[in-house]
Structures are given as structure tokens and as C-alpha cells.
A and B are shown apart, each in its own frame.
Chain A
Amino acid sequence: MDFRYDDEQDALREAVRGLVGKAYGDYEDRRRTVTTDPGFDESQWGRMAEMGLLGLPFSEEDGGVGAGPIEIGIVCQELGRAIAPEPYLTSVVLAGGLIAAVGSAEQRQELLGALSAGESVLAFAHDEPGRRWSPEASSVTATSSDDGWTLTGVKEPVPHGARADVLVVSAALPDGGTGLFLVTDATTAGYAAYDGTRAARVTFEATAATPLGEPGLDVTASIATVQDITRVMAANQALGALQFLLPTTTEYLRSRKQFGVPLSTFQALTFRAAEMYVSLELAHSMVDWATMVVAQSSTGQGDPQAVADAARRVSVQISTSGRHVGQEAIQLHGGIAMTMEYSVGMYVAHLTVLDHLLGDGTHHLRDLAGAVTTYAALDPLD
């Protein structure tokens, strides 16, 4: 059991931090970037590809680098630290992860190769209006005929759906279950989410679609597992943001004066900062652990159930810690954190988006609560 990163992992973190810091170390650059479509910096996306970050999760046969979850977690943490708007989580980890899990060898090589090279942006069109989080599709349906497969229905919101070159779309299959499809020419209407990143409404009207992997196969379980892995990586990204918010807040408490003295003079405030630290450290431990569970699973020693359990547990913790630290960061700053021109408020917005991307704390707590009678005590090492 080892919570420490090795030298190569430390070097990766340094490299990513340098790359991300150069683009968004000044929050004003992030603010400016998200004012225009596609809501992120295409040239930065290209630099991430050059560094090999976009191909990190994928095997070398598929055009990737073949790194593990620990490395992907490091990238996500560093992106979160600067709330970089590039669609790493939704395009690489989620949509790319689905293609890696379900796609045919040919599809994997073509799509993941282009993704890794920075030539193609992917999006996972999955959420449907009017429902909460699920691994299944319901209102978007797939139909098979002699001319091939078509999809009908609406997906919304689809993160980065308007910019994406290829959409991975979930749809209810004619014989039940959920299948995945590739679509390149759907009707999209894009807009900004409240953290400045982009989302879209995607409309299918008997739109031609290519089955991903084996046609007609129910892949709900694969979707669930890739979602679980993405939850753990989203938690890594949130952790990076939290690690920015706490020192930013404490620095403000030291420098901001009211009543003629620094705010750090007031114990009512410093004690709240201490509680933020507790929240952050608990989240940090849980994120490290969940990432190691995914890593163990990816080497064939774990199982999807262990990943699902770790994903729920880290999601509950990061949701609790993220809301606590985020809300307190704004409150302890006061009015300045309500403004677009100051970083803290937008960090909280981004944390809130991450919290609701694949299920918030209450959503995951329900599953944990339903299982409390199935074991005695939790042992994180067994």
C-alpha cells in the first residue's frame, strides 16, 4: 500500500502544471477563453495532444500512450487546479473511454487515434431532458432497417456537443437495453453552461448512426463502468480546484483588512478555514484511494463492482467537500467572490458542474444506503 507518486508521475504532474499554468495561470486568460466558441482553446488542445495527454488512457495499438488511471488522475487534478475549460473529462475520459470499452478494433484505432492526435473532439450524448442520472437511454430510440441504423429523439445537455466532431450517442434498442452509436451529422444547438464550458441540445430525426461495437448489443454495463471511472476522474479534477480554493481563501484572509485589521484576526473566520482544510484532506484521501481502486481494476485484479463502489464513495465525499469548501470560499471572501472578474466564484461554478455531471452526493448516497446491510465493516485494503 503506497499513497506516494513515483518520480515519473511527479514529472508528469510538473509538465502538465506547466502547460496548464502557461495558458490559465492568470485567471483572466481562462475568463477570456470561455467568452467565445468553442469555449476552450483549440491550440491548447493541440499542445495537450503533443504532450501525449489526450492519448493517455488508450492502448498503443489504438494510437494512445497506454498510461494508467493514476496518470489520468494527475492530469485531471492539474486541469482542475486552473479550471482549464478543455473537454478532457468528457471527450477523452468519458467518450473516448466508451469507444475503448465497446468499439471494434477498427473503430478504436480510427477514433482514438484521431482523438489522441488532437484531430478530433468527441462528446458523449447521453442525458435526456426531464430525468436524473442513469446509465441507460430511454427517450432516444434506435431503429434498424435494411438501410442501417437511425436514431430519433433529443439529447440535452450534451457537454461540448456542438463542437464535437463525432458524437457517441446512447439509445434505447428495439429489443430492449441500451446501445451506443456514432453520429457525425446531428442537429446541434450549442450554449454555455454556468461555468463557461459548452453544452448543446442534439436532435435526432431518423438520423443515420453507426453502431459502436457489435450492432444491437446492450452495453448498459459498459456505460455504467465508464461513467464510474469518469466519476473518479471528475473527483480528481474537483480536488485540483479545491486545492486552489483553500490557499486562495487563506491568502485573502491574511491580506484583506476590515475594521483596521486583517480578516485572519477573527477566529470566527479562521475556524471556518480550518474546517475547509479538514474537508479538503478527507476528499484528498478518498480521491487517492478511489483512483487506486480503478488502477487495481485496470490491471485485471479488481472488478467493476469495486470500481462502482469506489466511484459512489468518492462522489459522496467530493460532493460534500466541494460544496462545503466552495460555499465557504465565497462567503469568506465576501462580495469580490460574487464577481466574474475574480477567480473564486467561477471555481465554485465549475465544481458545481462537476458535482452534477454524473450524479451528485445524494444520488450516490442512495445506492450506498441501500447496501448497508450487505457487509459489516468496510476495509479499504481488502
Chain B
Amino acid sequence: MQLELSEEERAFRDELREFFTTKVSEEIRDAVAAGGEPTKEHIVESMRTLNAAGLAVPRWPVEWGGQDWTELQFHIWHEEMERANVPTPLAFNAGMIGPVIAQFGTEEQKREFLPKTANIDIFWSQGFSEPDAGSDLAGLRTTAVRDGDHWVVNGQKTWTTLGQYGDWIFTLVRTDPEAKKQAGISMLLIDMRSEGLEVRPIQLIDGGHEVNEVWFDNVRVPADNLVGELNGGWTIAKFLLGNERVGVAPSGITKRVLARVKGLAEDRFADDPLLCARIATLENELLALELTAMRVAANSADGKPHPASSVLKLKGSELQQAVSELVLDLAGPGGLASGADDTSKLGEWERLAGPIYLNLRKASIYGGSNEVQRQIISRNILGL
């Protein structure tokens, strides 16, 4: 047990810190620091910059651009990226479909898709949830029926984040309607320019357009685009969601949001012991979460996540929400000015505070709702 990083770890950290703060444009990092959603251009430019240096998809197999790092190095990579306000590589590409294709795909699929996925030449969307299949994902009803060399897909996906930018979508579809619900599912990769595929925006309570419905009306998909085994999609889904849980605790981002607002709004809370206590409480909980992430990273063996990793999503989303709530409270009446433009006398953080607070209600719903996380903890860890 020792606190300090080793000399090698420190050098690794300094190298990444230098890279993230000098190679990724300041415009992008300032936009992230302000707390708004990054634009498509920002996401793409940043991920390409990282990919050119081998830093976009380090968790992939080495032969497809991954890094042979220790868990602690992965952790340092993630922390330094967040610390520098660099947008995290697009999760759909780096964290979801990339590892799936590397694990389950054919050689042709790997060669065709992995380089483009790492370099975000393909902007992927996720087609899992449906109107009647949320937490109960296996209840999905979008069908794929074989017709010669193609699958014909019909149905509807929803909550497709950034689907308006998507080039391709990885979907779970029902390929055997007779089988027990988990057993009849397959994964199909679908070009979003296909005839019969339509993306419809969903307006969210923050006023923004972040998620979409994706409709499939007799969309013809080449049979080669099936990933893994026919009717083996549930195994892939579990693999993907397991990866998602580990990577989804943005403790570093939340910490820096809080630090930034402390600097901007100090005159509003410095003399208010109740607000100071709220800040101190949140900072302490964020510290405990960050330390848990480090402990989990240090104790993960053979690529298997430490059981405590499930804590990260659950607590991480709660703290993210709690900080957004505090920020809005600090904005006070200024938070109402969400519709004002830059001529406003109010700061950008005040104008964004309300929409961000509302937007982040999503954090305890997506990535396996927090109720699903409690279920995972009680069942898989506590054996209940």
C-alpha cells in the first residue's frame, strides 16, 4: 500500500497530461469545461487526435489499436482526459461496438469496421432500447427475417443518443420469434443510409435534441452484417453492458464541474455555512468515489472488474445529479435565464444550470438504471 505514483506511473501521467492539454484544441476543451454538450465536430476532431496517438481505444486488443496497459494506467488515462476537459472518445465506438466486433466479429468485419470505428470514420449509434423494452431489454420486438442474402428489418428503436449524427447503427433484433425471449435475439450492423430507415428527433425536457427514434420499414441488411452467432445476441449484449458499467462513472468530470462553479460563484456561498456544508459533503463523496475507482483499478485482475465497480455507476450518477442540483441552486434566480443569449448579463454557467440539471436526470436511467445496478449488486455480489 502506498499513495505516491511510482516514477514510471508519474512519467506516464505527465506525458498524457502534456498531450491532452496541448494536442487537443483549446476551443474544444473550453466548450467541455463550460458544461455544454460537445458538438459532432468536437467529438470527431478530438477522437481523431487521440487515435493518431494511440489514445482513443486503449482498451481494445493491441492488434486493433489497443494498449498493453495496467488497470492503473487505464485509470490514469481516463482521469487525465477528464482533467483536461477532453471529450471522452465516443462511447458507442470506443466502449461498445469496437470491443464487441473485436471479440465476436469475423476477420472481415474486424478489418472492415475496427479501423474506421477507432478513427470515427464511422459514427456509430446504439439500437438497443425500444418503446416496450427498456430495463427489460430482452423484451425487444424489432424483427429481422431472412430473405436470401439479406435480413429484412422491421420495428422501432428509441433513445438513440446522437442518432442524428449516426452513420451506422448496431442493433439487437429478434431473429427467432418462437424462442424464449433472450434466446431469439441477434446483433445486426445497419447502414443508417439504408432505404426504409428513418431517424426522428425526440425533444427532451432540457429543450435539447440528444436522442432519437429510429424506425425500420423493410430495411434490407446484408447477411454478412450479422455479428457473432445467429440468435447469440444476448451474450453480446451482456458483454457490452458489462463494459459500459465499468466505464460510466464520470467522477472526474463531476469533480471539475464543482470546482469550476466554486470559482465562479464563491461570493454566493462563502458566507453561507449550509451551502459550504453541501459543497464539502459532495466533495468528500466524490473523493470516496474517485478513490473507489482507483482501488477497483488497482485490484482488477485478468481484465475482470473488481466487484465494487458496480458502485461506480450507481454512486457516480447520483453525485453527478447532486452537483447539477447544487449548481442550479447557486445560480439562484439567474437560472431562469436559460433562453438568454450571450448578450445576457448572466454567466453562461447560470444560463445552462437549469437545462443541465434537467438533462442529468437521465444519468440514473441510462447505462442500466440505478435500480438495475442495485439488482446487480444484490444478486451478483451479495448473492441475494
Give A contacts to B, CB under 8 Å: 1-6, 9, 70, 246, 250, 253-254, 264, 267, 270-271, 273-275, 277-278, 281-286, 288-289, 291-293, 295-296, 301, 313, 316-317, 365-366, 368-373, 376-378, 380-381
User: Could you pull out 10 A-B pairs where Cβ atoms are within 8 angstroms?
Assistant: A3-B294, A4-B1, A270-B378, A273-B378, A274-B373, A278-B315, A284-B292, A295-B2, A376-B263, A380-B290
A277 and B381 contacting across the interface, CB-CB below 8 Å: yes
Whether B214 is near chain A, meaning CB under 8 Å from some CB there, is no
Task: Please state if A281 and B3 are interface contacts (CB–CB under 8 Å).
Answer: no
Q: Cα distance A273–B2 when bound, in Å? A: 31
Contact B3 A278 (CB under 8 A): no
Contact of A368 among B280, B290, B314 (CB under 8 A): B280
Q: Are B1 and A2 in contact (CB under 8 A)?
A: yes
Chain B, Cβ-Cβ closest to A370: B276
Task: Please determine whether B374 and A378 come into contact, CB atoms closer than 8 angstroms.
Answer: no
Q: Give the residue of B3, B255, B377 whose beta carbon is less than 8 angstroms from that of A289.
A: B3
CA distance A370 to B263 in the complex (A): 15
Quick check: B382 and A372 within 8 Å, CB to CB? no
CB contact between B276 and one of A6, A292, A296, A372 (< 8 Å): that residue: A372
Count of A-B contacts judged by CB separation below 8 Å: 153
Q: Is B371 an interface residue (CB 8 A)?
A: yes
* Ranked 9 nearest A-B pairs via Cβ: A377-B259, A285-B291, A270-B378, A274-B377, A369-B276, A368-B280, A274-B374, A292-B3, A282-B288
Is B23 an interface position by the 8 A CB rule?
no
| CB pair A365 B281 closer than 8 Å | yes
B381: which A residues are within 8 A, CB to CB?
Answer: 277
CA distance A381 to B281 in the complex (A): 20
Within B253-302, the residues touching A (CB, 8 Å) are 255-256, 258-260, 262-263, 266, 269-270, 273, 276-277, 279-281, 283-292, 294-295, 298-299
8 further A-B pairs in the complex, CB-CB below 8 A; given A250-B384, A371-B280, A380-B294: A1-B6, A246-B382, A250-B382, A281-B311, A284-B295, A286-B287, A301-B4, A369-B277
In the complex, which residues of chain B have a beta carbon less than 8 angstroms from the beta carbon of A285? 288, 291-292, 294-295
**B383 on the A face (CB < 8 A):** yes
Task: Tell whether, in the assembled complex, residue A372 and residue B259 are in contact, meaning their CB atoms are under 8 Å apart.
Answer: no
| B340: Cβ under 8 A from any A Cβ | no
**Per-residue contact bits, chain B 358-384, to A (CB 8 Å; 1 contact, 0 not):** 000000000000010111011101111
Interface of B is mostly: helix
Given known A-B contacts A271-B374, A281-B308, A254 and B9 have beta carbons under 8 A apart = no
Task: Please name all residues of chain B whose beta carbon is closer than 8 Å to the beta carbon of A380 when the two chains form the complex.
Answer: 3, 287, 290-291, 294
Q: Which listed residue, B269, B291, B315, B379, touches A288 by the CB 8 Å rule?
A: B291
A373 to chain B, nearest CB (A): 5
B308 close to A4 (CB less than 8 A): no
Task: Judge whether B280 and A292 touch: CB under 8 Å.
Answer: no
User: Roughly how many angstroms separate A271 CA and B372 CA in the complex, as a whole number?
Assistant: 10
Q: Would A254 and B383 count as touching, CB distance under 8 A?
A: yes
**With A277-B311, A295-B1, A376-B259 known to touch, is A288 a contact of B295 (CB < 8 Å)?**
yes
Would you call B291 and A289 a contact (CB within 8 A)?
Answer: yes
Can you name the residue of chain B whose Cβ is closest to the Cβ of A302?
A: B3
Q: How far in angstroms is the closest Cβ of chain B from A76?
A: 14
* Cβ A277 vs Cβ B377 within 8 A: yes
Residues of B within 8 A of A365 (CB): 277, 280-281, 284
Q: Chain B contacts of A296 at CB under 8 A? A: 2-4
Question: Closest approach, in angstroms, between the C-beta of B382 and any C-beta of chain A?
Answer: 5
| Residue ID in chain A nearest B72 by CB atoms | A1
With A and B bound together, what is the CA distance between A316 and B85 in angstroms? 29
Chain A residue, CB-CB nearest to B272: A369
Contact: B289 with A381, CB < 8 Å? no
Complex contacts, A313 vs chain B, CB 8 Å: 284, 287
Is there an interface contact between A2 and B280, defined as CB atoms closer than 8 Å? Answer: no
The smallest C-beta distance from A275 to any residue of chain B, in angstroms, reads 7
Of all chain A residues, the one with the shortest Cβ separation from B259 is A377
Q: Please, how many angstroms separate the alpha-carbon atoms of A376 and B264 in the complex?
A: 11
- B373 nearest in chain A by CB position: A274
